[in-house]
Amino acid sequence: MGDSPDIFGDEPEHDDGPSAAELEAAGQSSMFGEAPAPVAAPPVAAPPAPPKAAPAQPYRVLARKYRPQTFSSLIGQDAMVQTLANAIRRERLAHAFLMTGVRGVGKTSTARLIAKALNCVGRDGQGGPTIDPCGVCEPCVAIAEGRHIDVIEMDAASHTGVDDVREIIEAVRYAAVSARYKIYIIDEVHMLSRNAFNALLKTLEEPPAHVKFLFATTEVDKLPVTVLSRCQRFDLRRIPAELLASHFDGICRAESVSADAEALALIAAAAEGSVRDGLSILDQAIAHADLAGAGEATHVTAAQVRDMLGLADKTMQRTLFAALLGGDGAALLDAVAQQFALGVEPIAMVRAAMDLTYRITVGQIGKGVEAVSPDEAATLAEWGQRLSPGQLHRLWQLLLKAHDEVKSAPEPLAAAQMALLRCLHAADLPDPGTLAKKLEEIAARGPAVAAETGAPAGAAAPAPSIAMDWEELVLRVGHRHVLIEQVLRDWVRVIELRPGFLRFAFAGNYTMHTAKDIAAAIEDVTGHEWKLEQDGSGGRPTLREEAEAKKAAEAEALRRSPLVEAAFAAFPQAEFIADTDNVRAVGERNWR
């Protein structure tokens, strides 16, 4: 039985007999898995069987493969590492640590490194807490592999309730099983509910000596102040693009991959300060890259990265920007169409123009951003000499508005074309500083401008067209007789007014009220008898007519002012809209 086939006809692993192919070559058959008859040994000895290949290891993405295992490999966080080192050296360890920062800067990795540092026992098993954990002792290895019984990791995004926190509160009472400290790592801690935070507060404030809490979050503003005040906080910084590019270069060398410096710079810029995001993009770029020749390393080029990320070529970006500054609308639209055909999104074109505007602006004050090529550096320097700071700032505001429009537009391409054309035509408008100086010059020539326009310079304001005691009388009537007040204001033209006597005429053909109706209302508010005489015509304008005339005069005076005349000289097609009511209201409010 030991040498016979199994029930599926498979040959046992230890069977060194002739194979089916050998049997067939000898004219025998092994059909249906039956045991073949003995055959003579082949005339030529069979070659030795090749050794079995080791099982293939599953591929690990770069972000996991190169996760920091020591504080020395944690890039860009030197201040935090120094603080932790001093705390460990002086035995001044907090009972709760809070790591904050954007995604991918190393918050969870830092928490695991702190767990290693606090529980490391050294290669000889006699060591204590250290900022340089050995990485080979049982606690270090178990923590790195995520299987240490005393280092408990919890994702607060999926464990948000009070019951989850109660489990922690119950467990902290017991000492660590095999480590120096029992450590709780809670990721995305801001996702805990308010009740869960409240349940944790007491334990967080006075935990047992053998327990440490390590929190990580991307949204620290969502944490209650009561929690923040009980933690030692570390704000992990975004990693500078230059440091990211250098880090990616070292990883490429370790992976036997070559990459252009510009390609690594593009990946670092796209990572936006996140190591994990950058490594994910680098992983994608390596997969996207063409395989080199036999025996050569895979090579990642800048063109491949731009194509993968949908970025515009730097030369094409400068071509579009040059058309924008040169006022060439046709060339601008051609550049937009060319980039769009290559897969560049319209929003990316606007961002590229904003990036160039920013680079030129900071370059003017000696803080230029490093260019990716000598050609780009020369072009940016030339534009910086041509453009004034005012023009650049105005272009930035126009592009910022364009970005918002393209982002929300139903047709992003059309929105980008229209927005960029608006930026192009806005270049023809006078600079605000130059315009202000021109207006000041014209205003200084006020008398001359007034002579040119025919308005008398320094003309005095017209005298009131009606006595104040008549307007006061109308206001008093309005306290009790609103309808009569409206008649007095809109239709009564005063011919003669003195105490107890009023001669007037109605404007137009007003017949709804008589002199007797008006006299009764006036007598009611004054308390004595009035005599009213009505004439057919004549008299001063009504209060309403006077107000309208005054408003028209104010508008005309404003229209003839030197500053407005100067504005019309600069913008001949401008429209004049006078809001004298608001002007007068502001003046009265300030006077009061």
Q: Are residues 480 and 502 in the same domain?
A: yes
Residue pLDDT, tens place only, 152-168 = 999 888 888 888 888 88
Q: Are residues 66 and 171 in the same domain?
A: yes
What pLDDT score was predicted for residue 421? 92
State which H helix or E strand residue 257 sits in: strand 257-259
Q: Are residues 228 and 247 in the same domain?
A: no
d(CA 236, CA 215): 13
Q: Are residues 194 and 143 in the same domain?
A: yes
Pick the last residue of a domain from 212, 235, 258: 235
Q: Which of 345, 418, 355, 351 is nearest to 383 (CA)?
A: 355
What average pLDDT does the segment 438-465 reach? 47
pTM here is 0.56
DSSP one-letter code for 159: -
Position 448 pLDDT exceeds 80: no
What pLDDT score was predicted for residue 443? 55
Position 417 pLDDT exceeds 80: yes
> Looking at the 3D structure of the chain, how many domains does it have?
4
Position 121 pLDDT exceeds 60: yes
Q: Can you read off the two tokens belonging to residue 32? A: 């249906």
What pLDDT score was predicted for residue 120? 93
What pLDDT score was predicted for residue 449? 43
d(CA 173, CA 168): 9
What pLDDT score was predicted for residue 404? 92
Position 3 pLDDT exceeds 70: no
The domain in which residue 493 lies consists of: 468-540
d(CA 181, CA 166): 20
What pLDDT score was predicted for residue 464? 40
Position 403 pLDDT exceeds 90: yes
Q: 433 lies in a domain?
A: no
Q: 414 lies in a domain?
A: yes
User: What CATH number is associated with residue 283?
Assistant: 1.10.8.60
DSSP one-letter code for 309: H
Pick the last residue of a domain from 235, 257, 289: 235
Band of pLDDT at residue 306, cut at 50, 70 and 90: confident
Most confidently modeled range among 200-214, 292-306, 554-568: 200-214
Range list of β-strands (E), 298-433: 298-300
Most confidently modeled range among 7-16, 39-48, 305-314: 305-314
What average pLDDT does the segment 68-82 reach? 89
Range list of β-strands (E), 318-400: none
Q: Are residues 360 and 490 in the same domain?
A: no
What pLDDT score was predicted for residue 48? 57
Position 580 pLDDT exceeds 70: no
List strands edge to edge, sheet with 531-535. Answer: 492-498, 501-506, 531-535
The contacts of residue 189 (CB under 8 Å, 6+ apart) are: 98, 156, 215, 216, 217, 223
pLDDT more than 90, % of the chain: 24
Question: For 448, how many CA atoms within 13 A lie in the half-sphere containing its CB?
Answer: 6
What average pLDDT does the segment 409-423 reach? 92
d(CA 148, CA 133): 15
What pLDDT score was predicted for residue 24? 42
Position 43 pLDDT exceeds 60: no
Q: 508 lies in a domain?
A: yes
Residue pLDDT, tens place only, 528-545 = 889 998 887 888 888 888
Q: Are residues 67 and 196 in the same domain?
A: yes
Q: 47 lies in a domain?
A: no
Q: Are residues 98 and 180 in the same domain?
A: yes
pLDDT more than 70, % of the chain: 78
Please classify residue 383 by burial: count the beta carbons closer than 10 Å to its beta carbon, then call 0-12 exposed, 13-18 middle and 19+ buried: buried
Q: 552 lies in a domain?
A: no
